Amino acid sequence: MGQTQPAVLFVCSRNGGRSQRAAGLMRDLAGDNVTVSAAGTKPGTGPTTEAVDPATGLGIDITGEHSDPVGLRRR
């Protein structure tokens, strides 16, 4: 029987800051070894400048991410 790939879901209120930044960092660290998602309880319009700028400073691009509600899974 094959192994199931680990999955991590980062959740914050708007899914535009903390969870997006954390998901970007996890994707960078884990690569394809972990399925990483981010969601919000009251999602906004996408990653904020306050989330994008520090991630970019670490060489991580989260500009193409979406603000998704908890329960919606994008692949």
CATH at residue 40: 3.40.50.2300
pTM for this model (two decimals): 0.84
**Inside any domain, residue 42:** yes
- Residue 13 sits in which domain range? 7-57
Neighbours of 73 (CB within 10 A): 11
Q: What is the pLDDT of residues 22-64, one digit of tens each?
A: 999 999 999 999 999 999 999 998 899 999 999 999 999 999 9
Residue 2 has, within 13 A of its CA and on its CB side, a CA count of 3
CB 69 within 8 A of CB 43: yes
- What are the structure tokens assigned to 70, written together? 């908890």
Rounded Cα–Cα distance for residues 53 and 60 (Å): 9
Residues 26, 10: Cα–Cα separation, whole Å: 10
Residue 64 in domain = no
